Chains A and B, each alone.
Chain A
Amino acid sequence: MVSVRSIANTPSSLTPNDLPWIIEHREDRCTLCGKCAAVCPVGTLKLAYMRKRMPQLVLSSSERGSAYKTFVGIRQSTEVNKRCIGCGSCAMVCPNEAIHPVQNGERDRFRFLNSPQGEPAKRGGRRNDPGASLLDRIIFDRISMLTDPALDAGRHEFSCNTLLGRVLPPEEYVRRKLAGEWIPPVREIFPFVIGSMSFGALSPNMWLGLLQGVAYCNEVLGIPVVMATGEGGCPPWVLRSPFLKYIILQIASGYFGWDEIIRAIPEMQCDPAAIEIKYGQGAKPGDGGLLMWFKVSKLIARLRGVPEGVDLPSPPVHQTLYSIEESVMKMIQTMSMAWNFRVPVYPKISGSTSAKSVLNNLVRNPYAGALMIDGIDGGTGAAYNISMDATGHPIAANVRECYLDLCAQGKQNEIPIFAAGGVGKNGNVTQNGMALIMLGASGVHMGKFIMQSAAGCLGTESNRCNVCNIGLCPKGITSQNPKLYRRLDPDQVAQRVVETFMSIRTEIKKVMAPLGRSQSLPIGMSDALGIDDKDVAERLNIRYVC
């Protein structure tokens, strides 16, 4: 045994086996083309010259006993910042199936060292909680077709849309209509909304693809899909286009992009679908947004009215926020007034045990159009691991509690609750969404799912990729670098958006038909829900089934 000091060894030394992903490389198939090393977003792959000893039996004393051979091979970096993220870009470009990342079955040691320079671990993407989510486990068990004529999902007409905006109680509606008074704006939209992802977080090609797909869904297929911008404004040409009506503009604590929006108001051809005021998000409650400097391209800088290449942090809280009552009053009314009370305005908050207090304030504000609650499973562009993993509230119980609270006040039709946070994180988007709707949500927002479904995002709950925050998205979805985002064809994204929503629409019908529902979205139809966990059933006030 040699002394350990003769081996490079520091507290942070890692071997490939300590990393979450290990590169499996077959040198017998490798043609040394170098594409894998070129494409690797984090530069973990090294095409290196290496020397190999070739021991040989030598009988003559004039010759040396060993020969050396030099060869070229692929090696994986064990530096924390250059670790393999498992994205699989190398496998995608390898002409010979000679290389791919394999998830380390061991509990990796890397996590203990993932704080170089004292900076805690950050990532983009998701919560990394693999396995069936609670929403995945909810089933629809009240099959009505046994007692009455069945609906045919393929033949009958179904009304699957939902309402976004303040709905008056019927007595008040009739009174105001009679008196010719103001009726709050209400939008009829598809209950699955493309959640807030900013123009800045997403690449221009991704954003364009989403918008094209959304426009096609609305104008050709009659599926009234809307998408939310996230903080950071909206491209000027979109603000002045007829497509603005499919867009929910978000205002958040940094107010980025709002100069451009306010200036465009006189030139708008139509009103936006709604205004979302972000007070919090599921992935990082109590933390403001952050657009890293390398994502602040010329275009983004123009939209946000800032210099190029600077970090753009949003404060954790709105500067105007003294109390929720005051903020709701100020911001909701100001935003409503900007569009002359023709556009629904609603706050987005992170899932929290205090969600009910916010809700009760909204109930008392006649201009509040909805409440959007983003649960702990919500994804993001960038957040500290600790925020993403352990801060927030799961969405199911949060929505249920708020809905039942509204029911107790008889106001469940007046303030629609929208839910987000893990909808479709395992691919079961319609099932997850419909479960939330039957628990009381009027609709759901989805972010990660749409990135995966429409653009082929490589991330998974097993911590694959999840580097949306560093501008190096291998698919070009969350990058402002043209070399990366030109990999993404907006037309193809648009097509996938359309395919995704067509499929969701069919699946909604496949859920509604056996329940005997076709006339309206089954919001709050909790008698149709069951779960194989007594405690959850009791908490959510649904049936325990086994």
Chain B
Amino acid sequence: MRALIVEDEPLLIEDLEECLLEEQFNVDSAQRLRKASDLVAAEEYDLILLDLGLPDGDGLDLLKTIKKDHKETAVIIITARGETEDKVKGLELGSDDYLAKPFPIAELRARIHAVMRRKYDISNNQIVAGPVKLNVDHMKVLVDDEPLDVTETEYKMMRYLMLNKNKTITRIALAEHIWGSKIDDRFSLDFINSHMKNIRKKLNAAGVENLIKTVYGVGYKLTTYETE
């Protein structure tokens, strides 16, 4: 999954980045509104941490654009402005949560989980697909309650496919969600294939077959027919 940090203080960016990387996000950051709006226009983010007070403009304008063009993107506003008016305005404009500086990173983590739970409608920080359970708050995958040993990249791929259950995910979208947009796509698609081979091998070994289907020429689809 991809996250964007819009924040003008480099030291805070570092902390936020660290937190998001631990959450297995692919992170971009922007210190200026101009760059942030370039990124928002070009990329698909799952989460944006937005500071309202930027040196070259008001973050609320960016929030409007995000909510207009990217309804799916979750936005958490981070700002030094503690005023209720701003908070209300931000939430009215569609931000998913609001954090006033200073805040402990643990709180940010909790808010991210909450927002993601709401966004993907998951309970208990766990996504279930048939016999496979995947924790979103830490890197853990269970098959029939037995832990499955996966690498970081495999975890990211599985998480993205499980969050988008029953949807066809193109390989390029998958690559972007793992490595961001900097990576050359012709180059990364081969890697997606080999990672997918490994995931299937591991799932097969654990007795799960045909969970992830290849949509020929397009990408992958994780299907589950169970209803909970």
Q: Do A and B come from one complex?
A: no
